[in-house]
Structure 1
Amino acid sequence: MEDSAHSMKKQHILLTGGVGSRLWPLSRKSCPKQYLPLIQGKSLFQLCIERNAGLVDAGIIVGNKENYMQSRTQASTDLRINYDEIIEAVPKNTAAAIAFAALATDPEDLLLVTPADHVIDAGDTYEKAIIQAFELAERGAIVTFGVKPDQPETGYGYIEHKGLEVLGFKEKPDQDLAEKYIKAGNFLWNSGIFCFQAKVFLEALKQFEPEIYEKSRIAYEARQKDFLPEHESKQIPELSVDYAVMERSKNIKVVSADFYWSDLGSFSAIYDYFKLHELGSFDNSQNLILNSNKHVELPHVSEHIYVETEDAVLLVDKNQTQDVKQIYNSLKKSHPDLI
C-alpha cells in the first residue's frame, strides 16, 4: 500500500468547454465566460487554477480547438503546478471530456474534476471538502460535491442525500418543488464538481456506457500531441457525466459543501455575487452597470443590469435574465457576427 500511495498523484482536471450564452453580450464564441476578467480583473478560469493549486500535484486542461489558446494565455500568468492539455476536435459533453483526462493519467491517480467557469469562495471550508473527497476517492468511491442551498433555486439540479449517501439526483425543479426541497433540508445543489480514481471512473463508464468508453479510448489513442482527431471524435456519443455515470452508479458519495458556490450562469447570478461581495458598480436604484466606461443614468428603473460592449448594449431586469439565452439564440440566425 505504501508504494501505491507514493505513486498516486492528485490531478486537477479543468473542463473549459462552456460557451456562456446567457451572459451575452459579454460572453462570445471568441471569449466564453470563463475567460472574461469578471472578478477584480481575474477570470473564473484563473481563479479556478489559483484555488486548487495548493491541493493537487498536477493538472490537465481539457478544452476545445476554439478556446485552447485562451487557456494557454491565461494559464501562463500563474502556474504553480504543471498542466497538460487535451484539445478536443469537437465537443462531446462531459462524459467524454472526463474519459480523455482519465485515460491520460495513471489508473491510480485521484482526479478532482471542476468546471472552469464557476465561482467559489475558497478557504478552509473548500479545502476541507476537497481533502474529504480525496480520502473517499482513495477508498474507491465516486464523489460528487453538493452545495448547501440558501434559496429555492430553479436553475440548478439537486442531490437528495442522507449523510454521505446519495438517495437520488433531481432535475432542475420548478419553484414549488424547489421550495419543498429547501423545506425538506436534505437536498443539495449539484455543483458539477467530482472526485474519483481514474480507473474507478473508467470502469464505471465502461459498465454503463461502453460505447462512450470505447470510442473515447480510440480517439484518445489517435491523438497528435495534445490534439484529438476529428474523425474519431465525431463517433463518440454525446452525454453528460451525470447521465452516463453519476445517476447510475451505486458507488456515489456526496460531500456536503458549505462554501459559497455559483455557476455564474446568468446576469442575476452575477448581480447577487457582486452585491454580496461589494464588487461592481451599482447606482442608487440598485442597478448594476457592467463593462461600461460611460456615465450611465437609468431613471425609473431599479434592480436592472446594464451591459455594454463595443458593438452591443443590453438592459435586463434582474428577475428576467433567463431571456438572454433566447436573445442569443435569435442572434445566431439574424446577426451571427454579434455572437
Structure 2
Amino acid sequence: MEKNNSIIHVILTGGVGSRLWPLSRKSQPKQYLEIFEGKSLFEMTVERNTHLADKVMVVGNVDNHHLSGKVMDKTQTAYLNIVEATPRNTAAAIAFAAFASNSDDILIVTPSDHIIDKEEDYNIAIQEAISKAKEGYIVTFGIIPTKPETGYGYIESKGDKVLSFREKPNETTAKEFIARGNFLWNSGMFCFKAGVLLEELKQFQPDVYEKSKLVWESSQKGFLDLNASLEIPSISIDYAVMERSKKIKVVPASFSWSDLGSFESVYEYLVSKGHPTDNNGNMVIGCEDYTTFLGLKNTIFVHTNDANLILQKESSQDVKDIYNELEKQNSDLLN
C-alpha cells in the first residue's frame, strides 16, 4: 500500500568542535579527523547507516562541503549535497533537508561526529523509530545514561512519552537525574516524515519555515544564497519544534554513544581501543616522539605541527575557553 517513500539518512555536518582544539580546526573540524583507526567520525557515520537508508543527504557549509565530498567519494556513496552559505542552527538545516524530500519520505537525522558502538542495539532503535515515524510522530533518540554527565542535555521520559527537555545540568542536578532513573541523554538524533516536521515547524516557528523555504526554492544545485540565508532566525530544532510539538516520541536506546565533544570522551574512547597510557593514566595524542610524564596524573598531551595542548583530563570542557580567546585574537591557529 505505502511505497514511493524513501528512507533518507540526513547527515548534519555543522560544528567546529572547539573543545577539541588544536586537533579540530576550522579547516579540519573534528568529524573529518582520521584518528579513529584510520577513519573519521564522518566516515563511520556514513557506513553505520548505509544499510538502513535508501538515500543520503549531507547538510554542510561553504567551509566544509569539500571535506564531506572526499569522504563520500572514499566510501562511494551517492548523496544530495545541501550547502549552507552561513550556519543558521539546526532548525533551518533540518528544514532544508525536509524541503528537499517528498513529504512522505522518512528522514533519519544524525550529526556527523558521534561515536556509536553496539550496532545491533542501534539498528533496533532505528527500526523502532522508523515505525513510530510512519505513524506520524517526530521521534528523538534518548540514550540510557551510564554516568551523571554534565556535557549533555537530558530528556525526562515515561516509556516513549517525553515529559520534558532539560538543558545541560550541573553536577548536582545530573546526579539527581540519574537517581530518578527516567532521564535520558539527548542524542541530537531524530526520525520523522518530512511533511510532519515541516507542518510542526510552520505552526511553531513560521518565520524559520517561510524563510528557509524561500532559501531552498532559490538554491542553485544545492548551494544556498547568503543574503537570503541571513534572514533565517538561528534557532535549534529542540527549541523550534521538539519542546513544543505534541507529536514527539522518544526511543530509549541502549547503544553505547558519545558525541566525542571533549578530550575526556576522546581519551575514554581511545583507551577502550587499546591506545597506550602510562601507569598514571597519562596519554599522548598526535606525537610519535618519545614523551614521558613526571609527577603528573591523567594528563593529556595533544600535539599538532603548530600547537601543543597539555591538559588535565578533568579540565576538558574548558578547552573551548582557549578556542574563544584565540578567536578574539583572530588567531591563525584556529584555521
TM-score computed with the length of structure 2 as normaliser? 0.98
Structure-2 residue corresponding to 1:62 = 59
Opposite residue 22 of structure 1, the aligned amino acid is: R
SS in structure 1 opposite 2:267? helix
Q: What is the Cα deviation at residue 284 of structure 1?
A: 2.5
| Aligned mates of 1:122, 1:260 — CA distance in 2 | 6
Q: Which residue of the partner structure matches residue 44 of structure 1? A: 41
Q: Superposition pairs for residues 159-174 of structure 1, below 5 Å?
A: 159-174=155-170
The corresponding residue for 2:277 is: 282
2:241 is the alignment partner of 1:261 = no
Question: Which of 183, 187, 194 is 1:187 aligned to?
Answer: 183
User: In structure 2, what is the Cα distance between the partners aligned to 1:333 and 1:191?
Assistant: 30
Say yes or no: does 1:11 pair with 2:1. no
* CA–CA distance in structure 2, aligned partners of residues 38 and 209 of structure 1: 39
Shift of 1:170: 0.6
CA offsets per residue over residues 19-78 of structure 1, 9 Å max, x none?
A: 100000000000000001121111000000000001010010000000000000111111
Q: Secondary structure at the match of 2:109?
A: strand
Which residue is equivalent to 2:317?
Answer: 322
Which residue among 2, 21, 26 is the counterpart of 1:24? 21
Q: Contact 1:280/1:289 (CA < 8 Å) preserved in 2?
A: no
User: 2: distance between equivalents of 1:122 and 1:144?
Assistant: 19
Partner Cα distance (1:25, 1:7) in 2: 46
Provide the secondary structure at the position in 1 that maps to 2:52: coil
Does 1:228 find its partner at 2:228?
no
| Equivalent residue in structure 2 for 1:313, among 297, 308, 314 | 308
Provide, for residues 230-272 of structure 1, a one-character-per-residue CA deviation record: whole Å limited to 9, x for no partner. 1111110000000000000111100011001001000011112
Match of 1:140 in 2: 136
Give aligned pairs, total.
334
Report if aligned partners of 1:281, 1:290 keep a CA contact under 8 Å in 2: no
Task: Say which is worse superposed, 327-336 or 192-201, in terms of deviation.
Answer: 327-336
Partner Cα separation in structure 1 for residue 32 and residue 230 of structure 2: 26
Aligned residue type for 1:103: F
SS in 1 for 2:82: strand
Deviation of 1:335 after TM superposition, in Å, equals 5.5
CA contact 2:99–2:194 (8 Å) conserved in 1: yes
Q: Which amino acid in structure 1 is aligned with residue 103 of structure 2? A: P
Conserved in 2, the CA contact under 8 Å of 1:64 and 1:89? yes
Q: Find the partner of 1:78 among 75, 86, 89.
A: 75
Per the TM alignment, residue 122 of structure 1 is displaced from its structure 2 partner at its CA by: 4.5
State which of 187, 196, 202 in structure 1 corresponds to 2:198. 202
CA drift at 1:285: 1.9
Aligned to 2:239: 243
Whether 2:83 is the aligned partner of 1:87: answer yes
Aligned pair partner of 1:33 in 30, 35, 46: 30
SS in 2 for 1:293: coil
What is the rounded CA distance, in whole Å, between the counterparts of 1:162 and 1:323 in structure 2?
34
1:40 maps to a residue whose letter is E
| Structure 2: distance between partners of 1:279 and 1:22 | 23
Letter in 1 for 2:266: I
Runs of 4+ in structure 1 over 6 Å off: none
> TM (normalized to structure 1)?
0.97
* Long gaps (5+) in structure 1: none
Give the secondary structure class of the aligned counterpart of 2:83: strand
Pick aligned residue for 1:117 from 103, 113, 117:
113
1:301 maps to what in 2?
A: 296
Q: What secondary structure, in the 3-state scheme, does the structure 1 residue paired with 2:178 have?
A: helix
Instruction: Name 2:50's counterpart in structure 1.
Output: 53
Q: What amino acid maps onto 1:244 in structure 2?
A: A
**Deviation for aligned residue 1:190:** 0.1
Tell me, what secondary structure is at the counterpart of 2:269?
helix
Q: Distance in 2 between matches of 1:254 and 1:38?
A: 32
